[in-house]
Every structure is written in C-alpha cells, then in structure tokens.
C-alpha cells in the first residue's frame, strides 16, 4: 500500500515539476490566466455589490457575509482549477483524438492519470489573491472567531472531491459521445449553482444541490459553517457524498472504457 502511495506521490510531484517547466514557457499565458480570473472575480462580485445597493439582506445573507462566501468560492475554485481544470477540460479532446490509448497501455491508474497529469501552476497566483480576499472579508465580520478557519481543513477537501467527481463524470461522457461540448456547458451551469448561497434557491433546488448534485458543498456550506450560520452536521452528509461520488466516478470510468473504441485506425 505504501509503495502505491509513494509511486503516485512521486508521479504527482513529477507532474507538478513538469507542468511548471512547461508553463513557465508561456509567460503570456500565465499573465492571461491571472487576469482572466481577476475579471471573473470582479464579475461575480459586481452582481452582489450592485444588488446589495438596493437591499440589506438577500435570503438571510448580508453583504459582508456574501463577500466571505465569495472568498471561499474563489479559494476552492482556484485549487480546483489548479489541479483539475486542464486535465478534465481537455479530456474530451484527448479521447476524440485517440490519445487515451497511450495512457491505457501504461501501468498506472488511467483515471488518476487523466485527472492529475497536468497541474495548472498559474492558478497559484489566483489562490494567493483569493486567499487575501477571503482573509480581508473575514476580518470585516465582527462576530467571526478565527478558530473557525480550522473547519476549512475539512470543508475544502470535501468540496473539492465532490466538484472533482461531478466534473469527472461529465467529462467522462466523452467515452460515449464523440463530441460533448454541450455537456461541458451544462457542467458550467451546475457549477454556477454553486456560485450562489444555497438559501437563494427555492426549496426543491436547494435540496438537489445538497444531495443529488451537491455543489452547495463548494462554497455555500463551508461559508455557513465558518460564519457560524449553521452547525457542522452537514459535513457528515458532505463527507459521505464525496466518497460515494468519487467511487461512482471510478465505476463510470471503468464502464466507459469498455465501450470505448479508439478513434480512426
């Protein structure tokens, strides 16, 4: 068991170094990526900043609390993007080109390879910026207890696993459908649901994003826990769901590989 952990850790570190070397080549791209995300942050924040000019309260959230929510969203998002965006977004392309083959003949877990092959090192910049925002927005809340940040050690991995699993499941449909750009777009919409505090949504939808498509664990649930708006019980649900979903992604992948037929000859 330790041998396996060692191997995959070594591999991950190698991938990280290789990705770093490869990415440093494209300095323009790194800058572009940071700028892109800053623009995205501003876009997301602007909606709430404008809305809160016309109201004090939005489904139980105040502006300072919403800023914390956004901070958590940005931080988790930057980690997710760093680890998985390149790999999962390009999966459809790789499958279509038949590049999956070269991965399947290697003595490594193909799902792991597909998911971790490339690390988007540029997002470290975003991680730093978003962490700064999170720290600042937390400091603006008088009732906030710094010890609550420890919850992040649980909420972030749970949120990441859930988002990873959902994203992987959508990307893996490329094994069945030759082109699935639209499924990707649907994924973005599901993700979008996670970019709003869950209390905004009508009851049915709220239930869904806490169970069936538990995107609420991306930022909404962690924000509630860290702000003391709700107790940590939801984390039990989150933890269970994350394990189930990752397992489901693995089964789906194996099932998909069976029906996979390589492109062209």
Partner 1 sequence: MINIETENLTRTYETYRKPEGLLKSIQGLWARKVEQKVAVHPTTLSIAKGEIVGLVGSNGAGKTTLLKLLSGLIHPSGGSAKVLGYAPTSRDPEFLKRISILLGQKNQLWWDLPPADSYDLLARIYEINPIEARSRVRELAELLQCSEQLHVQLRRLSLGERMKMEIIGALLHQPEVLFLDEPTIGLDIIAQTTIREFLATYVKERKPTLILTSHYMDDISLLADRLLLISQGSIVYDGSVEEFVAKAENRQTLSLKLLNPPTTDVSIAGHFQLEAGTRNIKVELAANVIGDVLQALMSLSPVQEIKIEEVEFEDVIHSFMQQDARMRASSSAPAARV
Partner 2 sequence: MLGCARLAALQQLEYRFNLLADTMIQPFVVGLVEITLWMAFFASSGQAELAGFGREYYLSYALWAAFISRVSTSWMYESLMIQDIELGTVNSVLVRPISFFEYYLGQLMGYKVLTTAISLMAPITLCLFLDLPVSLSRLPLALALTFYYLILVHVISMIIASLGFFFTRIHHLTVAKNITLWMLTGEFFPLDIAPEPFKSILTALPFSSAVFRPVGYLTERLPVSTIYEGFLSVTIGLLVLGPVAALLWNAGRRRYSGTGA
Binding site for partner 1 (CB under 8 A): 7, 10-11, 14-15, 18, 21-22, 25, 98-99, 101-102, 104-108, 110, 258, 260-262, 265
Give the one entry of partner 2, partner 1, none that residue 262 binds, where binding means its C-beta sits below a cut-off of 5 to 8 angstroms depending on kind. partner 1
Paired tokens of 184? 């990707």
Taking CA atoms, 124 is separated from 16, 162, 194, in Å, by: 12, 21, 22
The total number of residues shown for the chain amounts to 265
Distance of alpha carbon 38 from alpha carbon 48, whole angstroms: 16
Site string for partner 2, 174-213 (x = CB under 8 A): ---xxxxxxx-xx--x--xx--x--xxxx--x--------
Q: Which two tokens stand for residue 171?
A: 């990307």
Which ranges of 26-150 would DSSP assign to H, the alpha helix? 27-51, 63-80, 86-89, 91-96, 100-104, 110-116, 123-139
Helix (H) or strand (E) holding 152: helix 152-171
CB closer to partner 1, 22 vs 135: 22
The answer to whether 197 and 223 have CB atoms below 8 angstroms apart is: yes
- Binding of partner 2 at residue 58 (CB under 8 A)? yes
Q: Looking at beta carbons only, is 7 or 145 nearer to partner 1?
A: 7
Total residues interacting with partner 2, rule: CB under 8 A: 41
Contact residues: partner 2, CB under 8 A: 26, 28-29, 32-33, 35-36, 39-40, 42-43, 46-47, 50-51, 53-60, 177-183, 185-186, 189, 192-193, 196, 199-202, 205
């Amino acid at each position: 068991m330790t041998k396996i952990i060692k191997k995959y850790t070594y591999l991950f570190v190698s991938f990280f170094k290789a990705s770093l070397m490869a990415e440093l080549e494209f300095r323009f791209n790194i800058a572009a990526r940071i700028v892109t995300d800053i623009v995205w942050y501003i876009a997301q924040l602007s909606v709430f900043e404008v809305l809160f000019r016309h109201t004090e309260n939005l489904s139980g959230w105040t502006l300072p609390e919403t800023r914390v929510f956004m901070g958590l969203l940005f931080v988790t998002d930057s980690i997710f993007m760093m680890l998985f965006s390149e790999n999962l977004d390009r999966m459809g392309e790789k499958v279509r080109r038949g590049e999956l083959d070269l991965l399947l003949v290697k003595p490594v877990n193909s799902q792991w390879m597909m998911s971790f092959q490339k690390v988007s090192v540029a997002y470290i910049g975003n991680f730093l910026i978003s962490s700064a925002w999170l720290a600042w927005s937390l400091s603006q809340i008088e009732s906030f207890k710094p010890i609550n940040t420890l919850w992040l050690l649980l909420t972030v991995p749970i949120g990441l696993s859930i988002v990873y699993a959902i994203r992987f499941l959508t990307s893996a449909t490329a094994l069945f459908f030759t082109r699935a750009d639209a499924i990707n777009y649907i994924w973005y919409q599901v993700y979008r649901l996670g970019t709003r505090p869950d209390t905004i949504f009508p009851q049915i939808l709220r239930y869904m994003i806490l169970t069936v498509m538990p995107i609420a664990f991306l930022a909404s649930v962690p924000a509630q826990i860290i702000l003391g708006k709700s107790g940590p019980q939801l984390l039990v649900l989150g933890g269970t769901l994350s394990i189930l979903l990752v397992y489901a992604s693995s089964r789906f992948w194996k099932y998909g590989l069976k029906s996979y037929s390589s492109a062209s000859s």
